[in-house]
Amino acid sequence: MKRLLLALSVLVSSFSSLGANMSNGADNFYQSNKVSVEKVTFNNQYGMPVTGNLFIPEGIAPGSKNPAIIVGHPMGAVKEQSANLYATKMAEQGFITVSLDLSFWGESAGSPRNAVLPELYVEDFSAAVDFLGTHPLVDRERIGVIGICGSGSFAIAAAKIDPRLKAIATVSMYDMGAANRNGLKHGVTLEQRQQLLRKAANQRYVEFQGGDTVYTGGTPHTLTGDAVGDEFYDFYRTPRGEFTPVGASPHTTTRPTLTSNVKFMNFYPFNDIETLSPRPLLLITGANAHSREFSEDAYQRAAEPKQLMIIPQAGHVDLYDRVNLIPFATLTTFFKDHLK
């Protein structure tokens, strides 16, 4: 008991010293008495258990068939970070929703932890369609998806090959392929890319022979003065959004393994994005978001019907949890119109 109390004391002390910007209604851990929540597990096509939270609006008639929405978390996050918030808010509007942990993250299966395998992330979205489409309260012809940050690119990639996803929305989307190949605003040179590939390749020898795993990217553990890093820090390293899954280490949360992260170099989610049509695409980004370029790129490439919504005075991470900035009314209208 003394150890537990000491641990809690240290935890509270660290939280109070970190601080957090809770402006604009930041409410990542929002819960609703209008929605029931159930932990669910289903297998993807490769037999790997995917864990999620199923949200069902109170008062749904037994035997009724209802529209449903899959919600994917930011890259490196887990369902408790942003995805649950969106799933809860959309369930309040009458949709059955499921937030999921992508393979290798959170409570879903996959080893090594924090591994990158974009094709498997994409498969997890189709597995969620399998799950929802066979649920007795879901109309399988009315399933949509919301992808936040990196999951925006995974959701688009899934929808390109899975026509069961009838309406696609992304929020603060990252094209995880372009972000790793080129960097933000194409700031990574070819030589820098090749140097990173050599480093990751050589690290494979180390880990193959039993050496320590090396992690890359993700969220810094201290404020550095870098605007992008500090923006992520304020969410992932403070009480605003910090969450460490059972069995995980707070030192590695949000950080993929170096040797697997280079697989994003071969990920091109926007190729053939026009083939989503005639299914609708809604792209939401902040006016000040460092990731805005990816939503604008997708919009330019996509065919109609498509919509690009730019939120004034919002940055990238703002749209993870700041409910006063997140356009839930627009998302509700979009899915009600297109999941009729």
| Helical residues (DSSP H) of the chain, grouped into ranges | 2-18, 83-92, 118-133, 151-161, 176-182, 190-208, 227-236, 258-261, 292-301, 318-321, 328-338
The confidence score (pLDDT) of residue 2 equals 35
102 vs 81: CA distance, rounded Å: 12
Please tell me whether residue 36 adopts helix, strand or coil conformation.
strand
The residue assigned the tokens 């992304």 is 170
276 vs 152: CA distance, rounded Å: 14
Q: Residue 172 half-sphere exposure, CB side, CA atoms within 13 Å?
A: 25
Q: 281-286 and 165-171: which strand pairing?
A: parallel
Structure tokens at 37: 């929540």
Other C-beta atoms closer than 10 Å to the C-beta of 332 total: 16
Please tell me whether residue 26 adopts helix, strand or coil conformation.
strand
Q: Which of 174, 137, 144 is nearest to 292 (CA)?
A: 174
DSSP 175-220: -HHHHHHH-GGG---HHHHHHHHHHHHHHHHHHHTTPPP-B-SS--
Question: 14-21 long-range CB contacts below 8 Å, 24 or more apart?
Answer: 15/238, 15/239, 18/237, 18/238, 18/239, 19/238, 20/234, 20/238, 20/239, 20/240, 21/234, 21/238, 21/240
The residue assigned the tokens 């808010």 is 89
Low-confidence ranges of the chain (pLDDT < 50): 1-17
The letter for the amino acid at 58 is E
Q: Sketch the domain layout of the chain as residue ranges.
A: 22-185+267-338
196 vs 259: CA distance, rounded Å: 10
Other C-beta atoms closer than 10 Å to the C-beta of 39 total: 10
Please tell me whether residue 40 adopts helix, strand or coil conformation.
strand
Architecture of the CATH domain 22-185+267-338: 3-Layer(aba) Sandwich (3.40)
The confidence score (pLDDT) of residue 19 equals 78
The confidence score (pLDDT) of residue 289 equals 98
DSSP 257: B
29 vs 41: CA distance, rounded Å: 21
282 vs 165: CA distance, rounded Å: 13
The confidence score (pLDDT) of residue 15 equals 38
Structure tokens at 337: 């119109």
The confidence score (pLDDT) of residue 210 equals 98
**Cα maximum dimension of the chain:** 62
The confidence score (pLDDT) of residue 18 equals 52
The confidence score (pLDDT) of residue 37 equals 98
Q: 66-72 and 138-148: which strand pairing?
A: parallel
The confidence score (pLDDT) of residue 310 equals 98
Q: Residue 107 half-sphere exposure, CB side, CA atoms within 13 Å?
A: 13
| Helical residues (DSSP H) of 116-175, grouped into ranges | 118-133, 151-161
Q: Phi-psi region for residue 67, left (φ > 0), alpha (ψ -120 to 50) or beta? A: beta
Residues 48, 269 contacting (CB under 8 angstroms):
no
